[in-house]
Structure 1
Amino acid sequence: MRNTKGKRRGTCYMLSRPFRKHGVVPLAMYMLMYKKGDIVDIKGMGTVQKGMPHKCYHGKIGRVYNVTQRAVGIIVNKQDSLKSPSLQCFVMEPVMMNVV
């Protein structure tokens, strides 16, 4: 057996859609308003491959630092790096966290 090291290795259940939620992404998910400083939960979606975050960021919490027309820039804390990485996500699951 080969040692597979692909980008989406081991994400069969992680990025799959729930029961009866397959197919086209609802328009309301694209219409969400993200603002700078919002704290969001990063969840990749298997139906949209473009702009998908890497599997190591799935379920992590980040802070929005940049908002463009089609992507959201997020800063995430990572244990093993000296500076916190930033990533651009296209479509995410709508999980916003309001921290006072």
Structure 2
Amino acid sequence: MVARSKGYRSKTRKLLEKKVREKGAIPKLSLLMHDYSQGEYVVVKINPSIHKGMPHRRYHGKVGLVVGKRGKAYEVKVNIGDKERVLIVRPEHLIPFNGIQKR
């Protein structure tokens, strides 16, 4: 028997699934053009159709703080357990945080 592969997107069948009417659609331009400033809170919401700048699945749905910008991507500080991680995420995978988390 061959060992099961454990790639970057393993165990994401339901997590990175789009609804039927969303398949093939590009994200809203307002989300892509949104300019996040330092100190702003954002939600990491992975868009599975865009692979560039995609964070790991463990950060999907987490709320983070924008700490800087690196090229087109943003540096987002996220707490996982008792550790702080700094992610480099493109704006296609971020949505503004309004106090009520949308999924």
Specify the TM-score bucket, using the shorter chain as the normaliser: 0.7 to 0.9
- TM-score, structure 2 normalization: 0.79
Cα distance per residue 1:2-28 (max 9 Å; x no partner): 333111001122112223112242322
Structure with bigger helix share is 2
Where do residues 1-100 of structure 1 align in structure 2 (5 Å cutoff)?
Answer: 2-25=3-26, 26-79=28-81, 81=83, 84-90=84-90, 91-98=92-99
Structure with bigger strand share is 2
Structure 1 unaligned segments of length 5 or more: list them.
none
Structure 2 unaligned segments of length 5 or more: list them.
none
Identity in percent: 30
Distance in 2, Cα, partners of 1:55 & 1:30:
20
User: Does structure 2 conserve the Cα–Cα contact (< 8 Å) formed by 1:41 and 1:61?
Assistant: yes
| Structure 1 segments (4+ residues) deviating >6 Å | none
- TM-score, structure 1 normalization: 0.81
